[in-house]
Amino acid sequence: MENYRKDFSIFQHTHYINSCSYGALSHQVEAAYGEYLKCRNTQGADWMYWCELHEEVRSRFAKLVNADADDVAVTTSASASLSSLISALDFTGTRNRVVTTDQAFPTEAQNWHAQSRRHADVVHARENDDGQLDLGHLAELVNEKTLIVAVPLVCYRHGALNDIAAITKIAHDAGALMLVDGYQGLGAVPFDVRALDVDFLIGGALKYLLSSAGIGFLYVREALIDNLYPAQTGWFAQADIHAMKIHGNEPAPNARRFEQGTPSVPALYAAKAGLDYMLNVGVQNTRDHVQGLNRALKDGVRALGGTLACALDDAAQGPMVAIRSTDDHALVAALQEDKIVTSCRDGNLRVSAHFYNDMSDIDAVLAALEKNKALLV
């Protein structure tokens, strides 16, 4: 793997291995923010270019997941993506069940439960002891009343990678729609919306896509778009965003109808730069590289007597490795003192490598864990 660390200033002084929270800042993304500021200082407002940039970001999200650009909405967050989609769903018919999971990121589950006032019946599929979803339990919950099944690509708490193809088959066999929250994997795990046959995919640019908060996206299967009318909308969702009509709502004929108001313009600059960088590196190259680092990390944790939150093989492990701790916040702080940036959730230390990490980062983590064995389970 090429040495990309030179493009990320943080590695001059820190072992940054926390991409599940926020991707490291590259010089290219930093320069993109500078380009935005230069535009503001020299032109004040350049709406036509910003609209073009919006389309360029859309095309790059589409390329990332093998979609058509017309099937992708560029939003301000995964939450905005999901909220817009949910506003277009009808829970008053015979199909009102939502099957989410105990792995759901809070914003996803909270959005579904908020629909209880719209007659949604929300149920949760449990996970097995190994951290993967219990597909038998999920299949029991999916029935003729199920409108949609929503699962994460990678669990944010412990890093288990779900079998999206198998879950999609369960959903579709019952006549239900299928949504994937890809935020914790996209950029580090290959994802093909066509090959996996999903109906919806949400994600954002903050983590493994290297850019910034303020940009998310939603993929919608083309055949579904015409019959979905979001109640959450805005001028960027209109068929002609420049028409400025106020006596009606004319949603775009494509996935743009799931957009809302003015996009986060500074974040568009960052998103384009981050996506360009990630597409150049290659998601499969990243996957292969990170799996090697994660194997070394897991072997090292076991040798120290530590406990992995998910003892999974490579194929079932996302880019994150979670390590059990007696005090996960104290362990994150202890590693920070050794200039190692990680994060934690649910009693687990989360270590999330990306293409810019190497064995020096893994060795540093293992050395710090050995110093702090009292905080390991």
CATH of range 29-278; options 2.40.170.20, 3.40.50.2300, 3.40.640.10, 1.25.40.10: 3.40.640.10
pLDDT at residue number 3: 85
**b/e 94-117 (16+ beta carbons within 10 angstroms → b):** ebbbbbbbebbbebbbebbeebee
pLDDT at residue number 103: 97
Distance between CA 114 and CA 128 in Å, rounded?
26
pLDDT at residue number 295: 97
Q: Give the pLDDT means over successive 10-residue stretches in the chain (377 positions).
A: 91 98 98 96 94 97 98 97 98 97 97 97 96 96 98 97 98 98 98 98 97 96 98 96 93 98 96 98 98 97 96 92 98 98 97 98 98 97
CATH of range 5-25+282-375; options 3.30.420.480, 3.90.76.10, 3.90.1150.10, 3.30.390.50: 3.90.1150.10
Q: Where does CATH 3.40.640.10 sit in the chain?
A: 29-278
pLDDT at residue number 72: 98
DSSP state of 352: E
pLDDT at residue number 137: 98
The model carries a pTM of: 0.97
Distance between CA 153 and CA 161 in Å, rounded?
6
